[in-house]
Amino acid sequence: MTPVTFDGCFGWLHAPRVGTGGDVAVLICPGLMQDALLSYCSLRLLADQLAAAGYWALRFDYPGTGDSCGDGDMRDAGGHWAAWRRSVDVAADWLRAATGARRLVLCGLRFGGSLATVAAAERDDVAGLALFAPVVRGHSYMRQLFIEGQLKSGRPLVKDKDFEYREFRFSPTALAQMSKVDLRQAKLRPGQKVVILARSNATPVQDCVRAWTAAGVGVVSLGWEGLEPMLRHGLTDEYTLPDFTGFLNWLRSAVPAAGAHTAGPPALEPAMLRPPGCIETPLRFGDDGRLFGMLCRPDRGVTETVVLICNAGRDPHYGGARQGVALARRLAAGGIASLRMDFAGLGDSLGPPGAENVLSHIFANRVPDIHAALDTLEQIGFRRFAAQGLCAGAYHAFHGALADRRITTLLLVNIPLFTLPGGNVLGYLERRSLSPLHYLRKLALRENWVALFQGKLGVAATLRAQYTNALTRLRSKAHGLARWLRLVPVQNFAGRALETLAGRGARTLFVFSPGEAEIEAFAREFGRTGDGLRSFNEVAVRIIPGMDHDLSKVSGRYTAETFMVEFVAEHRPPEPVYPPRHRNAALA
């Protein structure tokens, strides 16, 4: 796969092997927000398998999404629907021009299916259309977003006002345009081939099948079996990606990749994006270039400081609600470079050979990946290194700094733990923050007694978690008092680790949401307000009102970004300002 850019959008071109490709190209239109995050690795696998089957494949980010240029407003581009609809045509035209393909298959997931269907109805080069769990009615989709937005904000929506949700700010006009989308009204062309892979055979899907079949379109409905990882997967353990066998069999039959291409990959310009104040270039590194990151630099002068932005959970490198992109571009505005990277088996970084279709464990050892990123950044010319992470990403940044002395600044947002417990990590995280009173209240419910006797409740695990919880809190308070009185040295792992980092001159910023669960692990070790950190130099703690766990609220995220940018810049020596020099970098 080759990184590409066009019209301010970022994408990946997956090319068939020489001698195996035909004249058909597949354009993959992703979903939005959580749909895009959950399906990111699945769509990468799909594009790889399409290329292996002889089809050119392009997946890309719409304007204002993923790595592409643009923000969440899109008013200057005519609104979200207009900008995204136009980007599908631009991507389709680019794909044909780059590969020489004569026919296209548009493939869309969720709201991407809506965009793909409208494009297929208006273009004369679309031979096939594949819809994965498509949004048939825009009105229903927007209503779902309204409900989620109200639950998240705790406030009712105001009619005829902008709607802010995750990375987007929808104007009333944009909301109206998206709500009017109804695939049942799409006028597909006779002879086009369509496959619908839906989670249920609901009435709107049946209506589409009937309307399109009556218009002379060849429509096939396939089940959702094997595809659930596109929209839902485990939070921590390794997880196998979807099985696309049924779809690929349909495609080979409905729109075969006729002919064969004998030339090598098309000659493409080096991929580069220019958001305001930034230059962004894709970077391949690690063994066989299997790891990926997006290098973001200020568009003026040269900086020797770079921040390594780690994956938050299983989100791809751009982050949930694009928090990785937002931070990178804020840093660039402050004269600081960054690399938002994917750990192995996440986003655009491949796992070990033979495990390319597996999402890696959220708490797998990431130190080798961090080493590889720092080695490459050092070769490029960077000399001062910071690491940032949210949730599990903060855990990995913390351990990466312990293992690599080159990291001298840490930005840790809502770090969930400092060391891993044995057994089920997710269960441990869920149980440890619940008080014994919580479980006593649950025993008052009849269904919980039934579950208890049926063995569905993990009694032993719960008791162990509560015992560990109480014992750790007691030890933490005792050690905190003893350290404050200077009667004992630091004894817990987190304290020893910070002592080690401070001894190297490293600086650490802890940033927390105000919720109890977010700060629970930190409070155990150092107290909620960081009283146990009095003996540590260069450690700061910020609790930010209004900030949520995953930085999906713009106001809280902006405040957190401000603290982080200022913390990195605070002790940064003045940087020389001169035209960018040539760097011998492994830029893809």
Residue pLDDT tens, the chain, 588 long: 999 999 999 999 999 986 555 789 999 999 999 999 999 999 999 999 999 999 999 999 999 999 999 988 877 777 888 899 999 999 999 999 999 999 999 999 999 999 999 999 999 999 999 999 999 999 998 888 888 887 777 777 777 788 888 888 888 888 888 899 999 999 999 999 999 999 888 889 999 999 999 999 999 999 899 999 999 887 778 889 999 999 999 999 999 987 655 455 677 889 999 999 999 999 999 999 999 999 999 998 888 999 999 999 999 999 999 999 999 999 999 999 999 999 999 999 999 888 888 899 999 999 999 999 999 999 999 999 999 999 999 999 999 999 999 999 999 999 999 998 765 666 655 555 544 454 454 445 555 555 555 555 555 555 555 555 555 556 555 655 665 565 655 558 888 899 899 999 999 999 999 888 888 888 888 887 777 787 777 899 999 988 988 888 888 899 999 999 999 998 765 544 434 433 333 444
Same domain, 326 and 373: yes
Same domain, 327 and 410: yes
Considering the domain boundaries, does residue 497 fall inside one?
no
Considering the domain boundaries, does residue 327 fall inside one?
yes
Considering the domain boundaries, does residue 165 fall inside one?
no
Residue 520's closest CA among 376, 418, 397, 389?
Answer: 418
Same domain, 78 and 207: yes
Residue 410's closest CA among 338, 507, 493?
Answer: 507
Same domain, 215 and 114: yes
Same domain, 278 and 247: no
* Cβ(233)–Cβ(239) below 8 Å: yes
Each residue's pLDDT tens digit, 404-441: 999 999 999 999 999 987 656 666 555 555 444 544 54
Give one word for 316, left, alpha or beta, with left for phi > 0 and alpha for psi -120 to 50: beta
Note down the domain range covering 221. Answer: 2-137+184-254
Contacts for 283-288 with beta carbons within 8 Å, 24 or more apart? 283/339, 283/376, 283/585, 283/586, 283/587, 283/588, 284/586, 284/588, 285/372, 285/373, 285/375, 285/376, 285/586, 286/344, 286/349, 286/369, 286/372, 286/373, 286/376, 287/372
Same domain, 377 and 244: no
Considering 254, 284, 307, which residue would you say is the last residue of a domain?
254
Same domain, 24 and 105: yes
CATH number at residue 52: 3.40.50.1820
CA distance 492 to 423: 21
Same domain, 357 and 237: no
Same domain, 279 and 378: yes
Considering the domain boundaries, does residue 394 fall inside one?
yes
Same domain, 88 and 204: yes
The Cβ of residue 450 has, within 10 Å, a number of other Cβ atoms equal to 11
Considering the domain boundaries, does residue 99 fall inside one?
yes
**E strand segments, 182-257:** 193-197, 218-222, 239-240
CA distance 256 to 254: 6
Calculate the CA 385 to chain-centre distance.
Answer: 23
Considering the domain boundaries, does residue 481 fall inside one?
no
Q: Which amino acid is at 240?
A: T
Note the pTM of the prediction, 2 decimals: 0.85
CA distance 405 to 26: 45
The Cβ of residue 235 has, within 10 Å, a number of other Cβ atoms equal to 12
Considering 195, 226, 254, which residue would you say is the last residue of a domain?
254
CA distance 479 to 489: 9
Considering the domain boundaries, does residue 556 fall inside one?
yes
Give one word for 321, left, alpha or beta, with left for phi > 0 and alpha for psi -120 to 50: left
Considering the domain boundaries, does residue 383 fall inside one?
yes
Handedness of CA 267, 318, 241, 209 (dihedral sign): negative
Same domain, 238 and 326: no
Same domain, 289 and 238: no
Considering 254, 285, 306, which residue would you say is the last residue of a domain?
254
Report the number of distinct structural domains present in the chain: 2
**E strand segments, 327-406:** 337-342, 358-359, 384-390
* β partners of residue 193: 128, 218
CA distance 241 to 189: 33
The Cβ of residue 227 has, within 10 Å, a number of other Cβ atoms equal to 23
Calculate the CA 246 to chain-centre distance.
Answer: 27
**C-alpha to C-alpha distances, 588 to 7, 268, 407, 518, nearest whole angstrom:** 18, 11, 25, 37
